């Protein structure tokens, strides 16, 4: 089975701080996510800068599209996004539009299940129109109300659609193995990395844990640990 991918969510509003954080973290993760507040605030220019600076990372643009799927997503695929998100609560025509334009560019559409009431039904419907990734997502406001993504992940994994499953919502070093064991193929971490004293080390630790490697063999973090042990 393929090793899970690790995605870092860039949720700052500041353009330069986002580029600086991405520079620290990019060597330690597979996917850089431009979070929804960040892309709304900074626009497609930020994607162009990150695309040019980080050719070895995939880039997800968290558009959370709700309408005009094809039209809204196309400029971002054209500018180098590898994955674009669309809301699972939106019309199936909107979701199909993002899938179609992703296919046109050889890229991927991720359907975000945030606030979807009938998750099993939506997962089956979006699988039928060719969605590439299902996003199990407990948003920042839901996390503040005490929610976690674990029960939704169990439900989605149990549907056995064969689609990739991305999991976001407060994932941290202590929970990353639980998320992978429960069926995540993409693990997303935002605050656990950008809120750490050393974001590069936190990213390296989370990636090592997601891949089932001991933290001591995990990139810079492992190297630093080795120095001081």
Ligand X SMILES: O=C([C@H](O)CO)[C@H](O)[C@H](O)COP(=O)(O)O
In the complex, what is the shortest distance from the CB of residue 218 to ligand X, in angstroms, rounded to a whole number? 19
Q: Which two tokens stand for residue 89?
A: 């609560």
For 87, phi then psi, to 5°, come to -75, 135
**Cβ distance 31 to 6 under 8 Å?**
yes
Site for ligand X in 180-199 (CB under 6 A): 188-192
140 binds ligand X (CB under 6 A): yes
- 35 versus 69: smaller Cβ distance to ligand X: 35
Strand pairing partners for 9? 33
Does residue 153 interact with ligand X by CB under 6 A?
no
According to CB under 6 A, which residues from 198 to 217 bind ligand X? Answer: none
Alpha-helical regions (H) of 26-113: 36-42, 44-53, 69-78, 92-104
Q: Rule CB under 6 A: is residue 34 a binding residue for ligand X?
A: no
Tokens 């503040």 sit on residue? 144
Q: Return the residue of 5, 9, 95, 122 that touches ligand X, per CB under 6 A.
A: 9
Give the nearest residue (CB) to ligand X: 190
What phi, psi does 35 have (nearest 5°)? Answer: -65, 165
For the record, the structure tokens of 120 come out as 């099993």
What is the separation of C-alpha 93 from the centre of its chain, rounded to a whole number of angstroms? 23
According to CB under 6 A, which residues from 69 to 108 bind ligand X? Answer: none
CA–CA gap between residue 169 and residue 150 (Å, rounded): 9
Pick one of 80, 169, 218, 219: the residue that binds ligand X (CB under 6 A).
169
Q: Is 168 in the site for ligand X (CB under 6 A)?
A: yes
Q: Minimum distance from CB of 115 to ligand X (Å)?
A: 11
What 175-178 contacts at long range (C-beta under 8 Å, 24+ apart), as own/partner pairs, is 176/206, 176/209, 176/210, 177/209, 177/210, 177/212, 178/150
Residues touching ligand X, count (CB under 6 A): 18
Look at the block and give the residue holding tokens 């689609």: 163
Closer CB to ligand X, residue 69 or residue 170? 170
User: Smallest distance, Å, CB 110 to ligand X?
Assistant: 11
Binding of residue 62 to ligand X (CB under 6 A):
yes
Which residues are near ligand X by CB under 6 A?
9, 11, 35-37, 62, 139-140, 143, 168-171, 188-192
């Amino acid at each position: 089975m393929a090793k899970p991918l690790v995605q870092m969510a860039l949720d700052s509003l500041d353009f330069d701080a986002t580029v600086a954080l991405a520079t620290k973290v990019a060597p330690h993760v597979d996917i850089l996510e431009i979070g929804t507040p960040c892309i709304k605030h900074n626009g497609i220019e930020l994607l162009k800068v990150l695309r040019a600076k980080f050719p070895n990372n995939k880039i997800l643009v968290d558009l959370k599209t709700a309408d005009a799927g094809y039209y809204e997503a196309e400029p971002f695929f054209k500018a180098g996004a590898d994955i674009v998100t669309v809301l699972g609560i939106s019309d199936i025509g909107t979701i199909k539009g993002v899938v179609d334009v992703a296919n046109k560019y050889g890229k991927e559409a991720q359907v975000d299940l945030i606030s979807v009431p009938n998750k099993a039904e939506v997962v089956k419907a979006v699988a039928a129109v060719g969605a590439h990734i299902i996003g199990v997502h407990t948003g920042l406001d839901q996390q503040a109300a005490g929610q976690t993504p674990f029960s939704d992940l169990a439900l989605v994994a149990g549907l056995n659609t064969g689609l990739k499953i991305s999991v976001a919502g407060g994932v941290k070093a202590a929970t990353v193995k639980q998320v992978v064991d429960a069926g995540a193929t993409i693990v997303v971490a935002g605050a656990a990395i950008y809120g750490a004293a050393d974001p590069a080390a936190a990213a390296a630790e989370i990636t090592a844990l997601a891949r089932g490697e001991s933290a001591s063999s995990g990139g810079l973090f492992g190297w630093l640990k080795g120095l001081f042990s």
